Amino acid sequence: TQLLEQSPQFLSIQEGENLTVYCNSSSVFSSLQWYRQEPGEGPVLLVTVVTGGEVKKLKRLTFQFGDARKDSSLHITAAQPGDTGLYLCAGATSGYSTLTFGKGTMLLVSP
């Protein structure tokens, strides 16, 4: 059973602060996705990382895939209230396989 553990489970910060959330597993993934979910809505895809060591940037968000493709991190610079939401990582063990999700990190950014 592939498990994805996300930490921290909950993070409450002030606007302008930086933060990093983590997604770890003992399994190797062929790709890893990060999603953001707002209350009462479905997850929205932010990024997919495929290559070990890969770094992708999406405005103030920086995503990194571990060299061994077992872990990933999401760093947010100068967080804004609009960044509030549940951040989920999801891994696939082979192309087009089903996704295994972590429990998510709930981020609250206060003005």
Partner 1 sequence: DTGVSQDPRHKITKRGQNVTFRCDPISEHNRLYWYRQTLGQGPEFLTYFQNEAQLEKSRLLSDRFSAERPKGSFSTLEIQRTEQGDSAMYLCASMPFGGVLIDEQFFGPGTRLTVL
Interacting residue ranges for partner 1, rule: CB under 8 A: 4, 30-31, 33, 35, 40-45, 48, 50, 88, 90, 92, 95-104
**Taking the complex as a whole, how short is the minimal distance between the CB of residue 1 and partner 1, in angstroms?**
11
Q: ω into residue 43 within 30 of 0, thus cis?
A: no
- Output the six-digit token pair for 60: 């103030």
Reading the block at residue 1, the tokens are: 């059973």
Give the distance from CA 35 to its chain's centroid: 6
Nearer to partner 1 among residue 17 and residue 38 (C-beta): 38
Distance in Å, CB of 43 to partner 1, minimum: 5
